[in-house]
């Protein structure tokens, strides 16, 4: 079986963390007898510098014909003054929209060996954190029209539009329900229905959809309360379903609870069944530490695991990658972002962390395929 993977290293630490994920992919190839044809393409600031466009047409065309896209990160201080539509982030928003990647899955777990990294006290964590944020990714305030700036009576104004159609809500609700079904079957839909018309429709449509998933327990929560409940008692949550901006904010909060942005993977999909998705770490391009072998490649490696499971039909390979990551952490290896204050730490750089995980794949493979 051959899979075509487009690799978009992007900016800052993107290229170095992605290189480690590729190392792990090559180890998977050896142990699982599958073949990956990789094609690299430009996105973000790197693409703007080379081609004057943060999402060149060749990149988009390559992604359209791929089985999956593995992305690093976008964001480059060199374009701070570039027009809004030329900034690296514009490339990311466009690729999401163009590929129809409306379903963003952001799992957040606290690794048992890293519990002391959480911003929460252990008694707040209870049995730990194991939740999934299902964020709508191609609608809401990010894309609603009209959006822009003008002047009225000499006064400058700026506006965005929060807009969702019932179809957009229904399809992401189905992804949320389906994801919950594979976990603890508890879905909490997060909105601001006490204030926003969009949220009232959101709640109505989510309610209409629940009939298709009678085995999933559904609740609703206002977003402000949810932000509070996440730090008070995170273990009450299994799957959080929410719109684009709320999901952006809440998923950073879950990252702080998990302990480091350097650990969280994500998948952006165009349907509930996986299919050709885009996989990227939740973290950004961290230009301040780029090129110094200091970045944590684990979020990228765990994004690769999601890709193997959801777009390549290789759940055993995905499990082997996760096992290899857990084992490496268990043995005390840490990049600097997750090293602080932990006893028995063996500090490593980005490349060594990648070597360690890749080196453990063969062993994890023989265990998962047993």
Q: How far is the CB of 358 from ligand IPM (least distance, A)?
A: 26
Q: Which of helix, strand or coil describes residue 242?
A: strand
Site map (CB under 6 A) of ligand IPM, residues 118-137, x = contact? --------------------
207: which 2 tokens? 């309610």
Residue in 97, 130, 184, 252 annotated catalytic? 252
Is 192 an annotated catalytic residue? yes
| Contact call for residue 253 and ligand IPM (CB under 6 A) | no
Residues that bind Mg ion (CB under 5 A): 248
Residue in 48, 102, 142, 333 annotated catalytic? 142
CA distance 89 to 75: 6
Task: Please tell me what DSSP assigns to residue 102.
Answer: -
Residue in 85, 150, 224, 288 annotated catalytic? 224
Is 11 an annotated catalytic residue? no
Which residue sits closest to ligand IPM, CB atoms considered? 89
Which residue sits closest to Mg ion, CB atoms considered? 248
Position among 248, 316, 322, 337 found at the interface with ligand IPM (CB under 6 A): 248
Site map (CB under 6 A) of ligand IPM, residues 75-114, x = contact? --------------x--xx---------------------
Rounded to whole angstroms, what are the CA distances from 303 to 97, 107, 175, 261, 266? 20, 10, 18, 13, 6
Q: Output 133 or 218, the one with its CB closest to ligand IPM.
A: 133
Q: How many residues bind ligand IPM (CB under 6 A)?
A: 4
Rounded to whole angstroms, what are the CA distances from 150 to 146, 147, 343? 11, 10, 56
| Contact call for residue 286 and ligand IPM (CB under 6 A) | no
| Contact call for residue 336 and ligand IPM (CB under 6 A) | no
Is 150 an annotated catalytic residue? no
Task: Please tell me what DSSP assigns to residue 184.
Answer: T
Is 142 an annotated catalytic residue? yes
Torsion sign (Cα): 48, 53, 55, 59: negative
User: 29: closest CA among 8, 1, 9?
Assistant: 1
Residue in 11, 191, 248, 337 annotated catalytic? 248
List beta partners, residue 268. 104, 278
CB 79 within 8 A of CB 285: no
Q: Which residues of this chain interact with ligand IPM, rule CB under 6 A?
A: 89, 92-93, 248
């Amino acid at each position: 079986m051959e899979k075509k993977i487009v690799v978009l290293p992007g900016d800052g630490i993107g290229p170095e963390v992605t290189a480690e994920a590729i190392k792990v992919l090559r180890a998977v190839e050896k142990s699982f007898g599958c073949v990956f044809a990789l094609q690299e393409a430009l996105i973000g600031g790197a693409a703007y510098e080379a081609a004057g466009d943060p999402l060149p047409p060749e990149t988009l065309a390559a992604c359209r014909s791929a089985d999956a896209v593995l992305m690093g990160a976008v964001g480059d201080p060199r374009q701070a003054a570039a027009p809004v539509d030329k900034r690296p982030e514009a490339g990311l928003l466009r690729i999401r929209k163009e590929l129809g990647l409306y379903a963003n899955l952001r799992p957040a777990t606290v690794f048992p060996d890293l519990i002391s990294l959480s911003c929460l006290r252990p008694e707040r964590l209870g049995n730990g954190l194991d939740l999934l944020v299902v964020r709508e990714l191609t609608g809401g305030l990010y894309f609603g029209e009209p959006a822009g700036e003008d002047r009225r009576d000499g006064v400058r104004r700026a506006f965005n539009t929060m807009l969702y159609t019932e179809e957009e809500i229904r399809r992401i609700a189905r992804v949320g329900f389906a994801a919950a079904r594979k976990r603890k079957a508890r879905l909490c839909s997060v909105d601001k229905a006490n204030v926003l018309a969009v949220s009232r429709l959101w709640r109505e449509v989510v309610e209409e959809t629940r009939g298709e998933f009678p085995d999933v327990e559904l609740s609703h929560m206002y977003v402000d309360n949810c932000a509070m409940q996440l730090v008070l008692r995170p273990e009450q949550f299994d799957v959080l379903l929410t719109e684009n901006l709320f999901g952006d904010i809440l998923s950073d909060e879950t990252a702080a609870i998990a302990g480091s942005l350097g650990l969280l993977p994500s998948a952006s999909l165009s349907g509930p069944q996986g299919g050709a998705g885009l996989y990227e770490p939740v973290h950004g391009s961290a230009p301040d530490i780029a090129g110094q072998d200091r970045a944590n490649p684990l979020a990228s490696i765990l994004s690769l695991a999601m890709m193997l499971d959801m777009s390549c039909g290789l759940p055993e390979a995905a499990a082997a990658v996760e096992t290899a990551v857990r084992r490496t952490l268990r043995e005390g290896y840490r990049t600097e972002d997750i090293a602080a204050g932990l006893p028995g730490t063996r500090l490593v750089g980005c490349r060594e962390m990648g070597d360690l995980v890749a080196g453990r794949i063969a062993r994890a493979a023989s265990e998962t395929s047993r």
